Chain A
Amino acid sequence: MNKRRGKNLGLLLLGAGPRLGSAALVAAALWAGFYWATSSSGPL
């Protein structure tokens, strides 16, 4: 039973690697945006 549940869990997490990679890229872009928004010079 536990073995089958473990196998099912593996199936549920199928494809998580590439998705995590894409999500990490999105997060990196957000933090690059943070650098841009907070460090650029401007009157205000």
Chain B
Amino acid sequence: MWEFVFAPFVDFGFMRRALLGCIAISVGATPVGVFLMLRRMSLTGDAMAHAILPGAAVGYLVSGLSLGAMTVGGLIAGMAVALLSGFVTRVTALREDASLAAFYLISLALGVLIVSTRGGNVDLMHVLFGTVLALNDAALILLCSIASLSVLTFALLFRPLVLECADPQFLRSVSGISAVTHFTFLALVVMNLVGGFHALGTLMAVGIMILPAAAARFWAASIGGLIVAAVVVALLSSLSGLLLSYHFGLPSGPAIILLAGLAYGVSLLLGPEGSLVASTLSRRTLKT
């Protein structure tokens, strides 16, 4: 038990760093995922994850695999796509999902093109799939800062965010902070995706955001309960994904996301809130 679970983290610094990076992402990104799911914006998170790629790629083009440049580039690109798709929705007949899909596809193609023109396949793989086992001090500081800022912001804006999920027009009518809440939330989505992309890559970052939130839906009914359950699922997936990756030589990012997917599958079957088993049992109770 000790050898399997604890020894990798006691013996190897890179495993401790990977674990801390995953904990930071779990704590910061999964509440964002819960609110994305409650606002029926789960696929928006996926689109935004792709949208940060060209910014990160331009940062890479300017200064190589520099954490700061890629982070700033990703933040700018993510916010630009969010604002542009919102603008197009307001001034044209196109709906938000279509405009977001158009912008993210353009962004993805542009990002891959930029990385491919200067870097090799290894750099492209780094951007697309991240390097959770090679997080340096600067990357950890970034991940911990984003996670700290996220939990503090959620603590402050929890009620407005919940109200905006339930009834955005009511929030708009009773207070002036509806727009502030919406854009702060969008900024948190982009920030957490940019943080997650350093560890898990642009394609996987959204996985640790959405899958635990979707799994938590079958374990809790309240929003606070959903957030706690999602963070627990993300932490367990991260820990077991890192251990599987260490012991069996698997790529760590996909291992973590697949285990989150497994948690989703188990929750879908066995969770106490609206899962297949719970629904079947409640139907039987109603019949008898």
Closest chain-A Cβ to B140's Cβ sits at a distance in Å of: 6
The residue on B at minimum CB distance from A10 is B175
Closest chain-A Cβ to B276's Cβ sits at a distance in Å of: 33
User: Would you call B16 and A40 a contact (CB within 8 A)?
Assistant: yes
Asked whether any CB of chain B lies closer than 8 Å to the CB of A3, the reply is no
Closest chain-B Cβ to A15's Cβ sits at a distance in Å of: 7
Closest chain-B Cβ to A29's Cβ sits at a distance in Å of: 9
Closest chain-A Cβ to B131's Cβ sits at a distance in Å of: 15
Closest chain-A Cβ to B146's Cβ sits at a distance in Å of: 10
User: Would you call A8 and B144 a contact (CB within 8 A)?
Assistant: no
User: Would you call A24 and B152 a contact (CB within 8 A)?
Assistant: yes
Complex contacts, B159 vs chain A, CB 8 Å: 11-16
Find residues 1-19 in chain B having any chain A CB closer than 8 Å to their own CB.
10-14, 16-17, 19
User: Would you call A9 and B16 a contact (CB within 8 A)?
Assistant: no
Asked whether any CB of chain A lies closer than 8 Å to the CB of B148, the reply is yes
Complex contacts, A43 vs chain B, CB 8 Å: 11-13
User: Would you call B27 and A37 a contact (CB within 8 A)?
Assistant: no
Complex contacts, B27 vs chain A, CB 8 Å: 26, 30
Complex contacts, A16 vs chain B, CB 8 Å: 155-156, 158-159
Find residues 17-40 in chain A having any chain B CB closer than 8 Å to their own CB.
19-20, 22-24, 26-27, 30-31, 33-34, 36-38, 40
User: Would you call B156 and A20 a contact (CB within 8 A)?
Assistant: yes
Asked whether any CB of chain A lies closer than 8 Å to the CB of B163, the reply is yes
The residue on A at minimum CB distance from B152 is A23
User: Would you call A42 and B11 a contact (CB within 8 A)?
Assistant: yes
**Range, interface on chain A:** 20 to 34
Please tell me which one of the listed residues A5, A15, A33 contacts residue B174 in the complex, with CB atoms under 8 A apart. Answer: A5
The residue on B at minimum CB distance from A34 is B144
The dominant DSSP class at the A interface is: helix
User: Would you call B148 and A27 a contact (CB within 8 A)?
Assistant: yes
Give Cα A8–Cα B181 distance, bound, in whole angstroms.
14
User: Would you call A20 and B176 a contact (CB within 8 A)?
Assistant: no
The residue on B at minimum CB distance from A27 is B148
User: Would you call A33 and B14 a contact (CB within 8 A)?
Assistant: no
Give Cα A11–Cα B12 distance, bound, in whole angstroms.
49
Complex contacts, B272 vs chain A, CB 8 Å: none
Complex contacts, B14 vs chain A, CB 8 Å: 44
Complex contacts, B17 vs chain A, CB 8 Å: 37-38
Closest chain-B Cβ to A6's Cβ sits at a distance in Å of: 9
Q: Which 6 A-B pairs have the closest CB atoms?
A: A23-B155, A27-B148, A19-B155, A37-B20, A37-B16, A23-B151
Hey, which bits of chain B sit against chain A, CB under 8 A?
A: 10-14, 16-17, 19-20, 23-24, 27, 137, 140-141, 144, 147-148, 151-152, 154-156, 158-160, 163, 174-177
| Given A5-B176, A31-B144, 17 further pairs, Cβ under 8 A | A9-B177, A12-B159, A13-B156, A13-B159, A14-B159, A15-B158, A16-B155, A16-B158, A20-B152, A23-B152, A33-B20, A37-B17, A38-B140, A40-B13, A42-B10, A42-B11, A44-B13
